[in-house]
Amino acid sequence: MHVPVHILAARLPRWLLPAQWPSQGGQPLLADLHLEQGRVRGLAPHDPDFSAPAGRAWHLNGALLLPGLVDAHTHLDKAFTLARMGPVKPGLLGAIEAMMVDRQGWTEADIHARASRALQWAYEAGTVHLRTHCDWWEPEAQPLAWNVLRELAQEWAGRLTLERVALIPLHLCAERETALRLARTVAASGPGALLGGFVHSTNWNPQALRHLFEAAQQCDLNVDLHVDEELHSGALGLATTAALVQELGFEGHVVCGHTCALAVQDDATALATLDAVARTPITLVTLPLTNLLLQDATTGRTPRQRGLTLVKEAHARGIPVLIASDNVQDPFCPVGSFDPLEALATGVLAAQLEQPFDRWSEALCRADWLRRGARALPLQAGSAADLVIFTQADAWGFPSRTQPRVVLRQGRVVSGQAPAAWSPSSTPIPVRSLA
């Protein structure tokens, strides 16, 4: 049975439930979801007396359920290139060097094949929304991958929303005119395109960052930056971005990925920057896998620092924080699987995150944190029945044992298999009114 109408006794994360949701023994009551034509018709505390026609309901018996997943920061253009490279020097700059050599052999077919594999893995993991960055090296020429990613966004439409960010080295925006020309090219390339930049102390140019935001404003583009991906306490990318967003009255949405440098700044400086970020609509994205691998990386020396941004302090200030995959099986990161749960599992250890299911699973589910406008929780009445149900995990050990899962898209199973125990009865039972 691939189209359940009632999903009963699901354990939902606390962040997704209304404040008045009843509890029992300190745990939120299990939930019943009622579906109709691929959408959520209603969500209510579990009613043990509810009966449905046989074969139309799954009884989850407390299995964990999340809305469709969001992977807010990936690099599909580079994915799966590691296997064909020689030795790669450690650290971020060594990885960039290896990538520059590999990309000389890229073709559209090569990029399409690697990115398609990534999207298939993401889809099977339960991802509904994926944002990829795309390296953009030249002020004039569009990178080969940009058009391939645009075609893939169309190929995957209806299964997965694919956004693409032009990842432009900051120095290309040193001239206002060049920044504007780049922004116009990005804006003209179709929906789902954003302006991005690599903002690092090695290429620091506050004027260029201003040009980037002015150009985005003029072309009505949202912005997604790699910011302060380094353990250098003098890095000014995030603080300057927050100030610019305020000063320019920037109307687009802004995402700042990495912001590792906050972790090595003195508390007063770092927290003042976060206070400034909290006054803007900036979303932070933390990338635990690559940060652990690339920060404080020197051959033959055990790393001493973790390289993560201040996720708890940001969360405490109400700043939206997403957790994402970043690089997968490329010179920046040899591991990874386009499964957001893998990034969360790493983040739980690296940042010592409490309540991974009830609190931090939100960092994998909030697509609204990537766009302008009002916040909207997923999985409300009327939203698509895009669900991920974990058949073997529980709220205490989460995200351990989350690999076995059933993925539903618009109420239909697209990956995994519902355990027989979810559909115990074959005898028709009268349906009680939901009213």
Using CB under 5 A, list all residues that contact Zn ion: 326
3-state SS string for the chain = CCCCCEEEEEECCHHHCCCCCCEECCEECCEEEEEECCEEEEEEECCCCCCCCCCCEEECCCCEEEECEEEEEECCCCCCCHHHCCCCCCCHHHHHHHHHHHHHHCCHHHHHHHHHHHHHHHHHHCEEEEEEEEECCCCCCCCHHHHHHHHHHHHCCCCCEEEEEEEEEHHHHCCHHHHHHHHHHHHCCCCCEEEEEEECHHHCCHHHHHHHHHHHHHCCCCEEEEECCCCCCCCCHHHHHHHHHHHHCCCCCEEEEECHHHHHCCHHHHHHHHHHHHCCCEEEEECHHHHHHHCCCECCECCCCCCCCCHHHHHHCCCCEEECCECCCECCECCCCCCHHHHHHHHHHHCCCCCCCCCHHHHHCCHHHHCCCCCCCCCCCCCECCEEEECCCCCCCCCCCCCCEEEEECCEEEECCCCHHHCCCCCCCCCCCCC
| Minimum gap (Å) between residue 256 Cβ and Zn ion | 12
β-pairing, 387-390 with 405-409? Answer: antiparallel
| Minimum gap (Å) between residue 73 Cβ and Zn ion | 6
| Minimum gap (Å) between residue 290 Cβ and Zn ion | 7
Backbone angles phi, psi at 314, to 5 degrees: -65, -45
Nearer to Zn ion, 320 or 416 (CB): 320
| Minimum gap (Å) between residue 149 Cβ and Zn ion | 15
| Minimum gap (Å) between residue 397 Cβ and Zn ion | 29
C-alpha 242/C-alpha 255 separation (Å) is: 11
Nearer to Zn ion, 329 or 391 (CB): 329
Nearer to Zn ion, 77 or 326 (CB): 326
Give catalytic residues, as residue numbers: 229
Query: Measuring CA to CA, how many Å separate 98 from each of 78, 82, 102, 275, 331?
Result: 11, 9, 6, 37, 7
Nearer to Zn ion, 29 or 99 (CB): 99
Nearer to Zn ion, 196 or 411 (CB): 196
| Minimum gap (Å) between residue 323 Cβ and Zn ion | 13
| Minimum gap (Å) between residue 229 Cβ and Zn ion | 8
- Residue whose C-beta lies closest to Zn ion: 326
Nearer to Zn ion, 134 or 179 (CB): 134
| Minimum gap (Å) between residue 341 Cβ and Zn ion | 19
Query: Residue 289: how many CB atoms within 10 A of its CB?
Result: 25
Nearer to Zn ion, 228 or 326 (CB): 326
Nearer to Zn ion, 134 or 418 (CB): 134
Q: Cα-Cα-Cα-Cα dihedral of 13, 14, 17, 21, to 10°?
A: 130
